[in-house]
A and B are shown apart, each in its own frame.
Chain A
Amino acid sequence: MRHIIAILLQNEAGALSRVANLFSTRGYNIESLAVAPTDDPTVSRLTLVTTGNDAVIAQIGSQLRKLIDVVDVMDLTEGAHFERELLLLKLKAKPSQLQALQELVAATMGHVLSNESHSFVIELTSSEAQVSRFLAQVAEYAEILEVVRSGALGIAH
């Protein structure tokens, strides 16, 4: 099962690599990983999407809590939460499909950031599943040139 795990991590040399190491040495998956500062300058927040059965997810939590730099670990999927991912997408539209593309972007609440002779940069903020769905649909109307995804971010209610 898919889990979104939020980790508060002290900003210390090597802290991020210790988290990444834990996943690789113990054979856990990382599907996406997003890291950024918080309002506390000594602490960063990592949002990590992983999959595993209950025993694996419990081990991931316990092993993360053994890392000295880890301040806190939360499994957001345990409770009600919001999930968002940012997509930046560069594509070239087929002229005949221009209308359909623009309708799709509007319908999914995306934004066109630039439009230069049928070459678009589009921004979309949505759930990871929605972003994936949008990417599949948009491929029908345009040639995808570059995909930039932030990985999921999450916050509990």
Chain B
Amino acid sequence: MVVQVLADEGVDVIFGYSGGAILPTYDAIFVHNQDTTRRPMPLIVPANEQGAGFMAAGYARASGRVGVCVVTSGPGATNTVTPVRDCMADSIPVVVLCGQVPTSAIGSDAFQEAPVSALMGSVAKHVFLVTDPHKLEATIRTAFELARTGRPGPVVVDLPKDIQTWQGVFQGSGTLPIPGYRRRLQQVETQQLSPASIEEFFSLLGAAKRPLIYAGGGVINANATDSLRSFAHGLGIPVVTTLMAIGAVDTMHEHSMRMLGMHGAAFANYAVDDCDFLITLGARFDDRVAAVPARFAKNAVAIAHFDVDASEINKVKRVQFSYVGGLDDALRRLTAHALAVHFARDWSEWHRHCAQLAQTHRMNYDRESALIQPYYVIEELNRLTRGEAVISTGVGQHQMWAAQYFDFKSPRLWLTSGSMGTMGFGLPAAIGAQFARPDRIVIDIDGDASIRMNLGELETVTTYDLPVKIVVLNNFGDGMVKQWQKLFFKGRLSASDKSLHKKDFVKAAEADGFPWVRRLDRKEDVPRIVEEFIAFKGPAFLEVLIDPDAGVYPMVGPGQAYDEMITGDHIVSRGKGPTRPPGANEMF
């Protein structure tokens, strides 16, 4: 019953780890896959259920389809709490099916029992505990509906063992009644920008001398990147993106001002400071972007905010124009209106200003250093992949370097744990993404500390012979933590220095059967080794010993505004730098 709904939903791969309470469903998948008349659903087995969750997430992020993860009860379910919360925080559609002890044993502290409904209820978009087998089929179908509609998110279905073994007639259709959700969803989906709203928007835009688009992950979730490009490039409005929206516009486009925020490009942040009209699309002014909301976009006469989630409007920043509805449709209507009324403004002075900012405050680093600079490695990789590879990351310095120095021609190539910041995301996400995009080079740019978190998944890469490429930028520790400790804790490297660890990543990769493994420790070898690495057709593992003191710049310190941004020694600042030390209780 469960497997048939998965097949009907078009599921073409399942990530999961078996166990007692989910055995009936695993058996049903086996039987399904033996039937040569049916489209198989390969079952990809991770080392740990957290890996399965992130594989499903990587698959969903890279494909736009719902990722599926099937795990057992108790520890199987609790190990997926982290990826479920990660998906919720980044609005990623996944369905997690958890085995549960039989209904008669629920609440008895049974073997491998965990309160999945209570745990997941706090972190997922929704959780179902199926207690009536007649509702099983409709529940699984509804889970997919909830995951992909509205603001997408993770949906968990807790499946007691006796519910899985129940035999009944397959209906082939039908969902659960969720009248409130569907009514609200329909309101949002049928919502159209009214002529009055369009007029109002264009009067703000028409009055602007320095308009700027601030695009967030919602643009990608809404599959609205084509309409964003038509609107922004058609009208000549420069675009900054959040970490989540990298690739929404081609980062190499003349009007791309790249990423804004705490570690955004200096020129992107200065453009935000300089704009007089900020058009916010599927973004939410979160603390990585607007640490001090009152001083964010401080010269903007007006801010417009388009989002599918009404709760994001005026949550952090008061705006002058807002619209709750589908982004794709809204952007199409705006573009159509602009064409119909021959809307045109001469923003050439603003364009020159942005180009000047991008030139003067460009990303840069110590190019003369004898040590391998991480930025250099990424530039060399980027020279070969040219904005077309799928890049996943862990969390920390390497994540920000990758966001800053890689180019992305299209959306769904950049996979990163944005809101939750989960170390260990990169490797399993790359595995999931390779299933979604077998045609693309998939590279996990990882750190030595992040990759440790799910290092067991190295084996998964070789088990399934995936051509995933893994780069470990090794700086012998938690680099971002060290950076903060140097800046704000007088250089006391509490528990973040791993230089005495005896870990040998090369041996680890070899032990897991990687056919191409290298350690790169000489600067002059970088171009050659990187080229060999990319050219290798199978699984490849590259450890790079980087300058352990390399930092992430620019950096907007905690509780500080963009004009207090630290740009480091190699990026030109136009601000005064921090005017005061950050408070100890600021966000980190």
Residue A41, interface by CB 8 Å? no
**CB contact between B311 and one of A10, A63, A71, A72 (< 8 Å): that residue:** A63
A-contact bits for B289-313, CB 8 A (1 contact / 0 none): 0000000000000000000011100
Q: Identify the interface centre among B118, B180, B311: most chain A CB within 10 Å of its CB.
A: B180
Instruction: List residues 137-191 of chain B with CB under 8 A from any CB of chain A.
Output: 146, 151, 177-181, 184
Q: Which of chain A's residues have a CB closer than 8 A to the CB of B180?
A: 8, 10, 65, 68-72
Min CB distance, B84 to chain A, in Å?
15
Q: Which of chain B's residues have a CB closer than 8 A to the CB of A72?
A: 180
Interface residue tally of chain B, by bracket?
20 to 34
Q: Are B121 and A21 in contact (CB under 8 A)?
A: yes
Min CB distance, B119 to chain A, in Å?
11
Min CB distance, B488 to chain A, in Å?
26
Given A55-B314, A58-B314, A72-B180, verify A66-B309 contact (CB < 8 Å).
Answer: yes
B-contact bits for A1-34, CB 8 A (1 contact / 0 none): 0000000101001100110010001000000000
Report the bound CA distance from A2 to B227 in whole Å. Answer: 44
Residue B28, interface by CB 8 Å? no
With both beta carbons as reference points, the residue of chain A lying nearest to B127 in the complex is identified as A14
Report the bound CA distance from A72 to B183 in whole Å. Answer: 10
Report the bound CA distance from A14 to B121 in whole Å. Answer: 8
B-contact bits for A55-85, CB 8 A (1 contact / 0 none): 1001100110110111110000000000000
Interface residue tally of chain A, by bracket?
20 to 34
Report the bound CA distance from A63 to B184 in whole Å. Answer: 13
Q: Which of chain B's residues have a CB closer than 8 A to the CB of A66?
A: 151, 309, 311
**CB contact between A13 and one of B129, B151, B314 (< 8 Å): that residue:** B129
Q: Are A13 and B178 in contact (CB under 8 A)?
A: no
Report the bound CA distance from A71 to B125 in whole Å. Answer: 16
Min CB distance, B574 to chain A, in Å?
34
Q: Which of chain A's residues have a CB closer than 8 A to the CB of B177?
A: 10, 42
Residue B122, interface by CB 8 Å? yes
Q: How many A-B residue pairs have CB under 8 A?
A: 48
Report the bound CA distance from A151 to B113 in whole Å. Answer: 35
Q: Which of chain B's residues have a CB closer than 8 A to the CB of A18?
A: 121
Q: Which of chain A's residues have a CB closer than 8 A to the CB of B118?
A: 14, 17
Q: Are A13 and B131 in contact (CB under 8 A)?
A: yes
Report the bound CA distance from A14 to B156 in whole Å. Answer: 13
Q: Which of chain A's residues have a CB closer than 8 A to the CB of B125?
A: 68
Residue B315, interface by CB 8 Å? yes
Q: Which of chain B's residues have a CB closer than 8 A to the CB of A59?
A: 311, 315
**CB contact between A68 and one of B117, B122, B178, B309 (< 8 Å): that residue:** B178
Q: Which of chain A's residues have a CB closer than 8 A to the CB of B184?
A: 65
Q: Which of chain B's residues have a CB closer than 8 A to the CB of A17?
A: 118, 121
Q: Which of chain B's residues have a CB closer than 8 A to the CB of A69?
A: 178, 180
Q: Are A62 and B310 in contact (CB under 8 A)?
A: yes
Q: Which of chain A's residues have a CB closer than 8 A to the CB of B178?
A: 10, 68-69
Instruction: List residues 43-64 of chain A with CB under 8 A from any CB of chain B.
Output: 55, 58-59, 62-63
Instruction: List residues 128-154 of chain A with CB under 8 A from any CB of chain B.
Output: none
Report the bound CA distance from A42 to B178 in whole Å. Answer: 11
20 CB < 8 A contacts A-B? A10-B177, A13-B117, A14-B118, A21-B121, A55-B314, A59-B311, A59-B315, A62-B311, A62-B315, A65-B180, A65-B184, A65-B310, A66-B151, A66-B309, A66-B311, A68-B178, A68-B180, A68-B181, A69-B178, A71-B179
Which A residues are closer than 8 A to B by beta carbons? 8, 10, 13-14, 17-18, 21, 25, 42, 55, 58-59, 62-63, 65-66, 68-72
Which B residues are closer than 8 A to A by beta carbons? 117-118, 121-122, 125-127, 129, 131, 146, 151, 177-181, 184, 309-311, 314-315
Q: 5 tightest CB-CB pairs across the interface, nearest first? A: A62-B311, A71-B180, A68-B126, A14-B117, A13-B129
Given A21-B122, A68-B126: 4 more A-B contacts, CB < 8 Å: A13-B117, A14-B127, A62-B310, A71-B180
